[in-house]
Amino acid sequence: MTEAARNSRSPGRLRHRLRRLVSDAMERDTLRAFVVPGPDVARALGLDLEAAGMEISATPRHASMLVLVGETPESLRRSAAVAYSQIPRPRIAISVGAKNPSPFPEPDFSIPLEQKALERATAEARKRLAGKVLNPHKEEKHAGEERAEDSDGGHASREEPDEGDAIHEDLEDEKARAGKDSDEGHTSHKEPKEHAGKSEEHAEKAETESSDGGRANHKDPEKHVEHESMNHAEMGHDHMDHGDMGFMSMVAMTEGTPRSSDGLQMEWVAAPFGPLFPGLPGGLALTLTLDGDTVAESVVSSAVGMPRFEGMSGSAETFAGWLASLDPFSPVAYRALALRAFEDAAGIAPDERTTLARIGAMERERAASHLGWLAGFGYLTGHARLAERAGKLQLALLRAGGSGESDRLRASGASEISRLKIEVDKLVENLRRNPLLTRRLKGVGEIPGDAEASGSVARARGASADARADDEGYRSLGFEAVVRGGGDALSRMRVRLAEVSHSLDLILAAGSISVPSDSFDYGLSGKGSATVETPRGKASLRLSLRGRGVSGLELHTPSTRHIELVESVAKERELADALVGVASLDISPWEVLH
Amino acid sequence: MTAAISILALLAGAYLVAVLEGWVSMGRMSITGPLASGAAMLGRESFVPKRRDRVFFEVAPPLLLVSALLAAAVLPLSPGLIVADLATGALFVNAALAYVMVALLMAGWAPNGAYAMVGGFRFLGQLVAYSMLIVMPITAVAMRAESLVTTEVVESQAALPNAIYQPIGFVLFLLAGMAVCFLPPFDLPTAPGELAGGVEAEYTGWRLAVFRLARLVLVVTVAAAVSVFYLGGWLGPVFPPWAWSAAKTLAVAALMLLAGRHVPRLRETHVLEWGWKVGIPLALLNIFVVGVMILVVG
């Protein structure tokens, strides 16, 4: 008797062997991770997910792990919870440097924001995944799993309260509330309203049922988001309707639907592209109404933006740090902005050494930010090599030149920057000679001539708008604004590429990198204002300093202006072009003021 | 027996292509990687969207696989090793590959979601761009062989492979082949950055495993077609015929996987524009040149 035959007579043992096999496979398999808010934020925080052994997944459905990176607002964690429920089991969640992941389900483990810890976590995650295959009874329940499951025979034996339940309760309440508030009459889809625009596209039809033989059917009403404008069932798309209709009349199908610019009547479909969309900055909540594959309408907001500051007041000591923590893409620039405003209020000026060190730090941040943008842009446009190179260069640059403990750029730091500059120039040259990339971007993402823009978006349409040009320190280093004509995605990319190179020159000229510190006499008082060229454009701050407190805050950020341009770059564009246009604006959703 | 050997060879090829793909995308060569990935995928749960088109959803991945297998059936691995030596073999490849579009359109329509649907219809547009560039170069190949029988096409290249005899056709067929396999830069229907997986996004667990396997088999099939039509299939010195076929097929597959990494995904309009305005005139020119050469050189 063969072993297989023996096993087939003891289904329990066979199942166990199969589990063992799958569990081993899972331990060895590439760890595919869905990253919240996005891989761009992880890189900006200095995490190299690929080096830690993860492969970034574009959709939670193809992932086996969710990585929550950094501090995120509650609304985004809610979207993360929905994304997590779309990861097929066995799955695992880790939180990296987040203090409070609620309402995200309790992560399997939390680690500090360090590359080393992340590398250890990957190995641990593999083991846990493999363990979950062997002991599926310990598989957690999470947000989005139907209550019916609890009373379901298959799961009756594992009703012990676990970490999933807290969030579960939470969302149930939300559902009930939303159901009462909603006047849509969709009692069967009592989805909290806020999910609708924010959760990923997957969410809207993610009402899933498991067809996995071993497990009970589970449906996810939680994840089912009904979009008024995207009711596929009404569009004769549902399979039930295919049968009922017999011959589908195109006239009947499109009756009463809006007519697009080309005169063709089609069903419009609203599809969310964010806040967790892989090709756009994490946290940018974009909803595109598609007319075929053309964008008819767009609605954009930030799921992670800054609060409006007017009338706020707070302690001066912690203000700079607080402002810096709001945007993971440009903490140095915002810290410098706060300190300059303080200095202006107090009527003092920093010495030359401090000025240069700050310039070094800000330029490193700018170059890293542009490279990070380029990596994301490469991913969106499907240019794998570009995404890879730019991401690696960004991480290398963030680590180059030390963290700013020592004032002078050490010899090793300087040579590292010079080495990176050679690699950056090689990359720039490569991109310049890529005719397909040029064709792909030319004429995409054009903005109206009278639109208000700053930073690289403005400089890419011929305006020499750069706050650095008015700065004494920058002028002494031979700064010159990079200006290009064109006003499209191509010229924006070219401006940023040239700026990366120029920024590296400025770092070498400044000779030191030092993140501005909080050594400031907060006893002083007065009114102050400051302007700083952040990686995305001009940010200005006004404040009053009195008795160790700040008040009368007024902040203007470049992304708040640029998010207004989304509509004009997306409208009437083919989907891919619209997305490239939006991405080319390099919006940081974190610095968008609500 | 022949069929069994051919299918095993095809699966082995698909496995090697999966290894290559892992190496290309992650920079690490792992011989057991695809095995672990496949087994792990089978161990995951497989959701289905609630309001899907049940038939289309379930049929699409197997149909993709069947389409690739059918096309492979008429491609010889060595002189005797061919599943079906059809009199219209070369055309049959094109006919079988047409179902790739049907499968992707079904996979796009079925899940009832915007990303997948846009992906599915994008591929329909892509077909309009590439399908002529599959047929027309094959025409020129058949002209030289004076036959549509794939084994005779291989034998016609004994003196000189078609890649050198008709380089325009070779390049066009290779590019069209990449478009059939929706490999970058023609990955419009799946587009990770634009559509978060597109037609593939809604498949999980074992269904995703079938979809991925089908895509790998498709890559091998198209690479084998390139090798049969343009690189002289099994012909070559010293090594046995099957080794030449395998080596050429894998080399073409590697080229197809690598080429797309250095360029951005093409725009749908550009694929159509270049397919019709550049590709088809070139394919016609190719047919004309080959015709003249056959008349003049013999």
- Look at residue B286 in the predicted model and tell me its pLDDT: 94
- Look at residue A205 in the predicted model and tell me its pLDDT: 38
Size of interface A-B (CB pairs under 8 A): 205
Q: What is the identity of the amino acid at A362? A: M
Tell me if B252 sits within 8 A of B231, measured CB to CB: yes
Structure tokens at A460: 């890419």
Q: In chain A, which among 55-94 make CB contacts under 8 A with chain B?
A: 55, 58-59, 61-62, 64, 86, 88-90
Q: Where in chain A is the domain with CATH 1.10.645.10?
A: 314-591
- Look at residue B66 in the predicted model and tell me its pLDDT: 93
CB–CB of A58 and B197 under 8 A?
yes
A29 touches chain B (CB under 8 A): yes
Cβ-count burial A249-288 (b if 16+ within 10 Å, e if not):
eeeebbeeeeeeeeeebbbbbbbbbbbbbbbbbbbbbbbb
Find chain B residues with C-beta within 8 A of A270's C-beta. Answer: 114
CB–CB of B49 and A206 under 8 A?
yes
Closest Cα in chain B, distance from residue A423 (Å): 16
Q: What is the identity of the amino acid at A540? A: S
Tell me if A55 sits within 8 A of B26, measured CB to CB: yes
Cβ neighbors of B183 (< 8 A, separation 6 or more) are B219, B256, B257, B260
A575 touches chain B (CB under 8 A): yes
- Look at residue A227 in the predicted model and tell me its pLDDT: 34
H and E: helices and strands count for chain B: 13, 1
Q: In chain A, which among 270-329 make CB contacts under 8 A with chain B?
A: 270-271, 277-279, 290, 292-293
CATH topology of domain A10-226: Rossmann fold (3.40.50)
The angle subtended at Cα B279 by Cα B277 and Cα B283, nearest 5°, is: 125
Place of tokens 């004769």: A236
**What does the DSSP assignment read for A285-345?**
EEEEEEETTEEEEEEEEESS-BPP-TT--EEHHHHHHHHHHH-TT-HHHHHHHHHHHHHHH
Domain range list for chain B: 2-296
Residue whose C-alpha is closest to residue A488's, from A419, A442, A546: A442
* Rounded distance between C-alpha atoms, residue B89 and residue B74, angstroms: 6
- Look at residue B186 in the predicted model and tell me its pLDDT: 92
- The SS3 of residue A533 is strand
* Rounded distance between C-alpha atoms, residue B9 and residue B16, angstroms: 10
* Rounded distance between C-alpha atoms, residue A336 and residue B224, angstroms: 60
Superfamily name with CATH number, domain A314-591: Cytochrome-c3 Hydrogenase, chain B (1.10.645.10)
Residue whose C-alpha is closest to residue A93's, from A44, A40, A134, A144: A144
* Rounded distance between C-alpha atoms, residue A549 and residue B91, angstroms: 80
* Rounded distance between C-alpha atoms, residue A255 and residue B179, angstroms: 36
Q: In chain A, which among 128-157 make CB contacts under 8 A with chain B?
A: 133
Interface test with A, best of B29, B37, B50 (most A CBs within 10 A): B50
Longest dimension (CA), chain A: 92
Residues B21-33 pLDDT 10s: 888 877 777 888 8
Give phi and psi for A370, each to the nearest 5.
-65, -40
Residues A160-169 pLDDT 10s: 333 333 333 3
- Cis omega before residue A39 (within 30°)? no
A21 touches chain B (CB under 8 A): yes
Q: Over chain B (298 residues), what is each successive 10-residue block's mean pLDDT?
A: 84 86 79 82 81 87 93 88 85 92 92 88 92 93 91 90 92 94 91 87 88 92 94 87 91 90 89 93 95 87
Q: For the purposes of burial, counting CB atoms within 10 Å of the CB of A472, is it exposed (0-12), middle (13-18) or buried (19 or more)? A: exposed
Structure tokens at A380: 């969106």
Dihedral sign computed on CA atoms, order A212, A215, A217, A221: negative
Place of tokens 């807290």: A166
Closest Cα in chain B, distance from residue A372 (Å): 15
- Look at residue A414 in the predicted model and tell me its pLDDT: 78
Q: What is the identity of the amino acid at A475? A: R
- Look at residue B127 in the predicted model and tell me its pLDDT: 93
The shortest CB-CB distance from B263 to any of A86, A211, A383 is to: A383
Q: For the purposes of burial, counting CB atoms within 10 Å of the CB of B42, is it exposed (0-12), middle (13-18) or buried (19 or more)? A: middle
C-beta atoms surrounding A475 within 10 Å: 12
Tell me if A113 sits within 8 A of A42, measured CB to CB: no
* Rounded distance between C-alpha atoms, residue B127 and residue B109, angstroms: 16
Residue whose C-alpha is closest to residue A182's, from A196, A171, A168, A199: A196
- Look at residue A374 in the predicted model and tell me its pLDDT: 93
- % of chain B exceeding 70 in pLDDT: 100
* Rounded distance between C-alpha atoms, residue A180 and residue A144, angstroms: 19
Residue whose C-alpha is closest to residue A203's, from A223, A188, A174: A223
**What does the DSSP assignment read for A109-134?**
EEE-S-HHHHHHHHHHHHHHHHHHHH
DSSP A214: T
Structure tokens at A382: 């499907």
CA distances from B104 to A48, B121, B188 (A): 34, 9, 11
Query: Chain-centre distance of CA B68, in angstroms?
Result: 8
Tell me if A34 sits within 8 A of A83, measured CB to CB: yes
The angle subtended at Cα B19 by Cα B17 and Cα B20, nearest 5°, is: 60
CA distances from A381 to A289, A551, A566, B21 (A): 21, 44, 18, 19
A127 touches chain B (CB under 8 A): no
Q: Which residue pairs from A92-95 have beta carbons closer than 8 angstroms and sit at least 24 positions apart in sequence?
A: A92/A64, A92/A65, A92/A66, A92/A125, A92/A128, A92/A129, A92/A132, A93/A65, A93/A66, A93/A67, A93/A68, A94/A65, A94/A66, A94/A67, A94/A68, A94/A121, A94/A125, A95/A67, A95/A68
Beta strands in A472-558 (DSSP E): 526-534, 537-546, 549-556
- Look at residue B135 in the predicted model and tell me its pLDDT: 93
Interface test with A, best of B37, B186, B195 (most A CBs within 10 A): B195
Residue whose C-alpha is closest to residue A467's, from A378, A535, A376, A379: A535
Structure tokens at A501: 């190179």
Beta strands in chain B (DSSP E): 47-49
- Look at residue A159 in the predicted model and tell me its pLDDT: 30
CB–CB of A212 and B46 under 8 A?
yes
Q: Where in chain A is the domain with CATH 3.40.50.12280?
A: 10-226
Cβ neighbors of A312 (< 8 A, separation 6 or more) are A551, A553
Segments of chain A scoring below 70 in pLDDT: 1-10, 136-265, 309-312, 401-412, 516-522
Closest Cα in chain B, distance from residue A359 (Å): 34
CB–CB of A434 and B203 under 8 A?
no
CB–CB of A381 and B111 under 8 A?
no
